Amino acid sequence: MLLDGKRLLITGVLTDDSIAWHTARIAQEQGANIVCTGFGRGLRLTERSVQRLPNACDVLELDINDPDHVEAMRADLTDRWGAVDGALHAIAFAPADALGGNFLATPVESAQTAFTTSAFSYKTLAVGLLPLMEAAGGGALVTLDFDNTQAWPAYDWMGVSKAALQAVTRYLARDLGPKNIRVNAVSAGPLATVAAKSIPGFEAFQDAWNGRAPLKWDETNPEPVAKMVCVLMSDWAPATSGEVVHVDGGFHAIATGVSQG
């Protein structure tokens, strides 16, 4: 199996329509041992969601911006496994005043929160897991991205944070490559998850994809994205790092609308 025996941390699991949940499901089906994380008011949702996985798993509470939480996560995984082979970073947040067409009026504190939680946190997770991945002899980190080569309606400072996330991916790849740790990002098309639905004007994203992606894009199906995450965490991508892999129906490659025939 693709991930047989791999010890994986899957962050950001909330409901069973999320990319993180489907990644956890496919990883288990491919032989991985997993631990998931949740946070705050969503923690109970996470705990319920993991009961619907092929094998219910433990859930750790992780506020990625709280050093005590990061240390507790590392201590738990050290006691549990002694090493970690890979992790999915599925963590992002922007305050309401950093979204919704409020770009020029967003206060610096809200932009900083979006950056810290959505981009800098990839570095935080990597450093937190570094001793465990070194103990494994290397491994793979994957984060979830969204196309940021263009300015999207209402996406505002989250779009800026996703651009920063791509840069963080490249610099982590530079610094962790000598330790045999691969660092990549998966740029997904729009999916109708709980998180996406909280973005004002999300329908505009769906409309754009329907008119431009050459492959049919199903915004209700996170499985293609989750499968790519699992490939990147497997031994089948041993020389891929610093990459942004698009799983978006080909949208990013097409300049104008296409005929769906």
Catalytic (active site) residue 216: no
User: How long is the chain?
Assistant: 261
Neighbour-count burial of 242, counting CB atoms closer than 10 A to its CB (0-12 exposed, 13-18 middle, 19+ buried) = middle
Q: Provide CB contacts within 8 A for 104, sequence distance 6+.
A: none
User: 89 with 143: CB under 8 angstroms?
Assistant: yes
Catalytic choice (123, 155, 171, 197): 155
38 bridge partner residues: 61
**Nearest alpha carbon to residue 240 among 144, 172, 173:** 173
Q: How far apart are the first and last CA of the chain?
A: 37
Catalytic (active site) residue 197: no
Catalytic choice (162, 197, 216, 227): 162
| Active-site amino acid positions | 155, 162
